[in-house]
Structure 1
Amino acid sequence: MNSRKKLNIKDYLKKRNVKRFSLFILIAFVFLIFSKLSNSYKQTIKLKVAITNIEDEVILENDSLNVMDAFIEAKGFTLVPFLFKNYKTIDLDAQTDLVNKSNHYVFDVQKHKYLIEEQLGSSYKMLSIKPDSLIVSYSKRASKYVPIDLNTAISFTSGFDIKGDYVLSIDSVKVVGSVKRIAEISAVTTEALILQEVNKNIEAEIYITGIQDIETFPKSIEVRAEVKRFTEGKIEVPITLVNKPANTIINFFPKTVTISYYVDLDNYSEIKTSDFIIECDYNSIKDNQTYFIPKIIKKPEFAKRVSMKQKRVDFIKL
């Protein structure tokens, strides 16, 4: 029994010694790694160029070839990310950092070393860089501006409607693509603006519907509309007969028509008979026809759903 206890104690001590030794090895390894990473190393790294602020019509060609090789000196800690990604991205502005030729950009690497050093940061010391100049080829597509057709599916709370028209942040967009495809496009449409039971002002961002093989700039627009409480009104308006021959006498009935309209409360009291013009055109009558079809020639801009109760005006020639 005593011998068993002695064996168990020895095994326990051995296991503790193994754990301590393993921990010591691990700590020593960590210190070794930190020591190595604290040293400076010289290494060639790849700098991948990303060109920003490019014209909408420009398409970069062989984008994967826009790479520079920089011979740098840096601490091991700084170089660790290159174990997972073998390049660093450098952003260049097409309008300020590059020279624009007829079908390519030119980046003078030696002249603009400071731009690269700024983006690398103080952790890197750049010893040299190749090539001396970087040529970035591109091609251009056709473009033009086209109007925007707003697509809405909006229902309003009873007694509410928009006052005036929908206001778009811009009235046209640039479409970019092949010459043939651009020629086929006369307008673009927005995605449907779907709102229900609206009773307050509308403010929304809405995207332009995509078109195959075409890019649109911008991709979205802002839409605004003023929503007001509306009411229905009616008014009697006299009929005006136009194009009647001078030697012709005509008697027509009725002499007035009832106009119905929908208007916001702010403008309800502003509606006057003179805001409307209703005409019957003598030249529009056909042989043996004994009636006119009245037409609304003028109406207030702020009035909606303007309609006439009378659809015809009878007449006789005297």
Structure 2
Amino acid sequence: MRKTSNGTPNFLKKSNLQTFGFFLFFSAFVWFLVQLSKDYTQVVSFPLEYVNPPMDKSIAEEKPKSVEVRMQDKGFNILYYKLYKPELLIDLEQTRTEEGRLVYSIEANREDIASQLNIDFEKTRFLSDEINIAFQPKKLKRLKVVPELNLSFAVGYSANEEISLEPDSIDVSGPESIIDTISEVSTFPLNINNINKDIQGKVAIDTTGLGMLSFYQTQVNYTMEVEKFTEGEIQVPVEVRNVPEDVNLSIFPKEVKLFYQVNLKQYEMVRAEDFSVVCEYEDIREGQDYLLAEVRRKPDYVTNIRLSERKIQFIIKR
């Protein structure tokens, strides 16, 4: 066995050093715990987060980022707050307005603050009694809502009227420089296939790229009545307008067949005199021997109108 110069074995020397090191560390640890169990007074900074901003106000970027608190508490608790820095949510609905700023009172909201931070107000003093948040008024504007539709009907079905939105306009507020550049907003695309009955529901407003604006409403209701339709046809006379008095004009055919769609409930209401098929004499060009007919008048309840032929032959008799 190897010995030191004074005759002490090496392993005993190493063991003593390890034991000494352990007790030194243990003593320091106990001392540290004892120190943390004492009461201290320290200033702690809590980061702030703002929620529920007013719709008619734009909060300034340079708003307070934190609030300082003088705490009298055990060292353990103060160390926790120093290390983890719990966030304090400032509810802007709980503020009052004063001279272009929102004022959040610490005293008026002490119960909410104590609950969030888990602090004792008897041992805590905020270095500021209020938190002041600067703002700029937003401009309010009413914008038309435009539906983005992709609707397809089952065979034999259609709608008498366009889809209805409720409301068809919404209030939006924001910086004047932005809100003055827009007059309408769109919904997200609405895709419905094989429609054979009335439809209704909700569709969201597309706010993409409009994050600087506050929307008082982010969705609207839509409804549309769907009817079973049938196709009909009717003979309608052709009228040529603006023919000079000294011109004897003859056309062929004098009547055209007009096809249309109408819901079954109104099929018997359709009459030839409800339609007007017109050609304009002034549209004649040199060398042209026909006029183009178009439907100028129709009942509101018929759709998908088309003519059997649009070219109307003419002869001018001298």
The verdict on a shared fold, with TM-score over 0.5 as the criterion, is: yes
Q: Distance in 1 between matches of 2:292 and 2:82?
A: 82
Change (3 A) 1:120 1:228: farther
Asked if the contact 1:106–1:135 (Cα under 8 Å) also holds between the matched residues in 2, the reply is yes
Q: Quote the offset at 1:256 in angstroms.
A: 2.0
Q: Quote the offset at 1:214 in angstroms.
A: 5.0
Name the aligned partner's letter for residue 225 of structure 1.
M
Query: How many pairs are equivalent?
Result: 266
Q: Quote the offset at 1:48 in angstroms.
A: 4.2
Q: Distance in 2 between matches of 1:47 and 1:311?
A: 75
Name the aligned partner's letter for residue 250 of structure 1.
L
Of all paired residues, the percent bearing the same amino acid is 23
After superposition, the C-alpha distances for 1:255-295 in whole angstroms (9 at most, x for unaligned) are: 22221111222222222223222111112222243322111
Q: Distance in 2 between matches of 1:303 and 1:292?
A: 25
2:255 maps to 256
Q: Quote the offset at 1:161 in angstroms.
A: 1.7
Asked if the contact 2:53–2:59 (Cα under 8 Å) also holds between the matched residues in 1, the reply is no
Q: Quote the offset at 1:138 in angstroms.
A: 3.3
Q: Distance in 1 between matches of 2:66 and 2:297?
A: 64
1:230 maps to 229
Change (3 A) 1:276 1:44: farther
Contiguous gaps of at least 5 residues in structure 1: 1-41, 74-79
Q: What are the residue-to-residue correspondences of 1:197-212 with 2, within 5 Å?
A: 197-212=194-209
Asked if the contact 1:291–1:312 (Cα under 8 Å) also holds between the matched residues in 2, the reply is yes
Q: Distance in 2 between matches of 1:120 and 1:98?
A: 20
Change (3 A) 1:244 1:157: same
Asked if the contact 2:64–2:131 (Cα under 8 Å) also holds between the matched residues in 1, the reply is no
Change (3 A) 1:125 1:262: same
Q: Partner of 1:106: helix, strand, or coil?
A: strand
Q: Quote the offset at 1:164 in angstroms.
A: 0.6
Q: What are the residue-to-residue correspondences of 1:1-318 with 2, within 5 Å?
A: 46=46, 48=48, 50-55=50-55, 58-63=58-63, 65=65, 67=67, 69=69, 86-93=86-93, 97-99=95-97, 101-102=99-100, 104-107=101-104, 109=105, 113-117=107-111, 120=114, 126-127=121-122, 129-139=126-136, 146-172=143-169, 174=172, 176=174, 179=177, 185=182, 187-212=184-209, 214-215=211-212, 217=215, 218-318=217-317
Q: Partner of 2:160: helix, strand, or coil?
A: strand
After superposition, the C-alpha distances for 1:28-57 in whole angstroms (9 at most, x for unaligned) are: xxxxxxxxxxxxxx9988594634251266
Q: CA RMSD in A?
A: 4.0
Q: Partner of 1:165: helix, strand, or coil?
A: coil
Q: Quote the offset at 1:99 in angstroms.
A: 0.8
TM-score w.r.t. the length of structure 2 is: 0.66
Asked if the contact 1:204–1:224 (Cα under 8 Å) also holds between the matched residues in 2, the reply is yes
Q: Quote the offset at 1:220 in angstroms.
A: 3.5
Q: Quote the offset at 1:144 in angstroms.
A: 5.3
Asked if the contact 1:70–1:126 (Cα under 8 Å) also holds between the matched residues in 2, the reply is no
Asked if the contact 1:277–1:297 (Cα under 8 Å) also holds between the matched residues in 2, the reply is yes
Q: Quote the offset at 1:151 in angstroms.
A: 2.4
Q: Quote the offset at 1:187 in angstroms.
A: 4.5
Q: Quote the offset at 1:308 in angstroms.
A: 1.0
Q: Quote the offset at 1:165 in angstroms.
A: 0.4
